[in-house]
Structure 1
Amino acid sequence: MTTRTLYLLCSAAPPVFEIAGVVEEAQRRGWDVCLGLTPTAADWLKDSLPGLAVRTGHPVRSSYKRPGDLDVWPKADVILVAPATFNTVNAWALGLTDRFVVGVVAEGIGKEIPMAVMPCVNSAYARHRALDRSLEELREMGVAVLYGPGGFEPNAPGEKRPYPWGVALDAVDELGR
């Protein structure tokens, strides 16, 4: 059996606290999962990082490796960025790669790695014109954007609603075919 590798890259939004279950579901679907986090997401999950590394079989990364160091992850077959915050989406579309997660996906476009992004923004952020422009930029670069009907739909600030992880993993499976 061929192993398929998924880079699951997460920003600091409330659904990141569900990531252990998402990793397990991706593994049930046949993915070897490598977990990358923005620095704030890594801080939020700091007590869970050792267990997540054991669960995935790979170090959880939130920073770049040093030049000359070996890469500790296998090559990605598919990349999923979820939950993707307003900041992550906009930085990616602009190519601002000061954070590991954004650097991986910015380079992934040039490497032609199939990618999907599912934002996690409230309706106040969604009204900012930069979000629509950034999502359109990502679409034009070939990224599957899971936003709006059938994907993530913004909620009111402070409203709690289930994050559609199943939609994101279904998109990963489709991209990995």
Structure 2
Amino acid sequence: MTEQARKPFLYVVVCAAGVAAGVGELIALARTRGWDVGVVATPLATGFLDTAAIEEQTGRPLRSAWRAPGDPRPFPDPDAVTVAPATFNTVNKWAAGISDTLALGTLCEAYGQGVPISVLPCVSEALTAHPAYGESVERLRGMGVRFGDHAFGGPAERGFRWEQALDLLAG
């Protein structure tokens, strides 16, 4: 009996923005493109998500907290990571190397693992004007992180381009 080849594994990091409720669309697109998917949510993002639906869709637990020492790893190492939607808070903390949640720790480690990372920001125009945000985006771009179009909330959320997260990883 031959061992079945492992599909590439995508970590989807979800932050607390209104559009987060639609992450099932990204999961479906990723699976159609041949990815297995695991979802890591910021603690606040869990309030925006249908955990049961995500777990059914991925076949894996939704993660938002660190596992206990000795507990098995619920996901294999990532072949790529996407952050969709990415918030002001997450972008700034990640760029500063802050790892105070599982989501941020995952992003900080992904850079060290050398895997491709894409980001779909969902940040208000007022917050994008803050100098720390622009500096953080530039720092992350300098680390090889690939940024997609910004969504600014409200009507823009209805047109959130989930597929762009995968397109950025492809090329």
TM-score in terms of structure 2 length? 0.91
Is 2:32 the counterpart of 1:28? Answer: yes
Any residues of structure 2 matched to 1:1-177 within 5 Å, and which?
2-45=6-49, 48-146=50-148, 151-152=149-150, 154-155=151-152, 159-161=154-156, 162-174=159-171
- Secondary structure of the 1:168 match is helix
Query: What is the Cα deviation at residue 95 of structure 1?
Result: 1.0
Name structure 2 gaps, 5 residues minimum. Answer: none
Counterpart contact for 2:9–2:78, Cα < 8 Å? yes
Paired with 2:12 and 2:143, the residues of 1 have a C-alpha distance of 19
Query: What is the Cα deviation at residue 24 of structure 1?
Result: 0.9
Name structure 1 gaps, 5 residues minimum. Answer: none
Q: Which contiguous aligned blocks of 4+ residues in structure 1 show a shift greater than 2 angstroms? A: none
Paired with 1:13 and 1:112, the residues of 2 have a C-alpha distance of 27
| Aligned Cα root-mean-square deviation (Å) | 1.4
TM-score in terms of structure 1 length? 0.88
